[in-house]
Amino acid sequence: IPSIDTLLGGGLRKGQLTEITGQSSSGKTQVCLYSAAHVAARHMGAVLYLDTSNSFSPSRIAHILDELPISLIKEPKDMRLKRVMSSIICESVFDIFALFEVLDRLEVSLNCKVTNGSNKICLLIIDSVSSLLAPIIGGKNSQGRSMMISVAMILKKLAHKHNLSVLVTNHMVAGNGAPKPALGESWKAAPHIRLMISRDRGSNICTATTLKHTLLACGRHMKFQFLPS
């Protein structure tokens, strides 16, 4: 998605945690699917996609592939989809304990596995991290907040140590005057980059706005459009 790549300063960065936040149906999952399809289709490496809401499907990836100008090499659609799907590892994760288990397995495999080229996981996606963290941090539950901070530390460690791009999504909650990203101030420091996505009512036109960036100015925004699925 060229507009988002521009706001990110050239796309998802290795070694960094990027967050996409926005209200329901704003396009957060589509960004995750586009990112996974793009990386796998262009032989950039493998993708680990952690799905918390059963939103991932091969048919959605196939639709995205039909939009992407993949390469000059002509490839039958079924073969291309099979190749791309073989590079996307999708796991369903529905609670914080399952997330810790998957991240632990990922770290062990990255530490031990001898990788070769495209088999190396280069992108970790969690859609959505807030659906796993929000239930454990309500009220005065200090243990829940400690677990949230642990998740942030693990994700940043994986990104830095193994040169991964980490992409997570977060929902919005009511704030003073305007919605704001969920998970509060403790989580706010976790992502290196935070983009907010909003969708024009009744259309596929979206606006991405930079809320946080390590190198570029905040407050920049650009419009983009998803083709109807």
* 86-132 pLDDT, tens digit each: 999 999 999 999 999 999 999 998 988 655 444 789 999 999 999 99
- Residue pair 159/176 in contact (Cβ under 8 Å)? The answer is no
DSSP labels, 130-178: HHHHGGGSSTT-HHHHHHHHHHHHHHHHHHHHHT-EEEEEE-EE--SSS
- Which pair of structure tokens corresponds to residue 90? 């999708």
**Which pLDDT score, from 0 to 100, does residue 104 have?**
96
Q: Cβ of 136: how many Cβ atoms within 10 Å?
A: 17
The residue type at 186: S
Least confident range of 74-78, 93-97, 131-135: 74-78
Contact 123, 165 (CB under 8 A): yes
Single out the residue of 191, 147, 188 nearest to residue 167, CA to CA. Answer: 191
- In the chain, where the domains are located: 2-225
- Comparing 59-68, 99-108, 151-160, the range with the smallest average pLDDT is 59-68
Q: Is the pTM of this model over 0.85?
A: yes
- Homologous superfamily (CATH) of 2-225 is P-loop containing nucleotide triphosphate hydrolases (3.40.50.300)
pLDDT at 117: 46
Using alpha carbons, select from 226, 199, 217, 229 the residue that is nearest to residue 7: 217
Taking 50 as the threshold, does the pLDDT of residue 5 lie above it?
yes
* pLDDT band (50, 70, 90) for residue 72: very low
Sign of the alpha-carbon dihedral angle for 80, 88, 120, 162: positive
Whether residue 183 is predicted with pLDDT greater than 50 in this model: the reply is: yes
Over residues 173-186, mean pLDDT: 88
Which residues, at least 6 apart from 88, have a Cβ–Cβ distance to it below 8 Å?
Answer: 36, 37, 40, 46, 47, 49, 61
Q: Which residue has the tokens 């993949």?
A: 70
Q: Region 207-226: what's the mean pLDDT?
A: 92
CB-CB neighbours of 224 under 10 Å: 19
The helices-and-strands tally (H runs, E runs) of the chain is 8, 10
Tens-digit pLDDT profile for residues 21-57: 999 999 999 999 999 999 999 889 999 999 999 999 9
CA distances in angstroms from 51 to 88, 95, 125, 141, 167, listed in the order given: 12, 11, 8, 25, 12
Q: Are strands 205-212 and 193-199 parallel, antiparallel or unpaired?
A: antiparallel
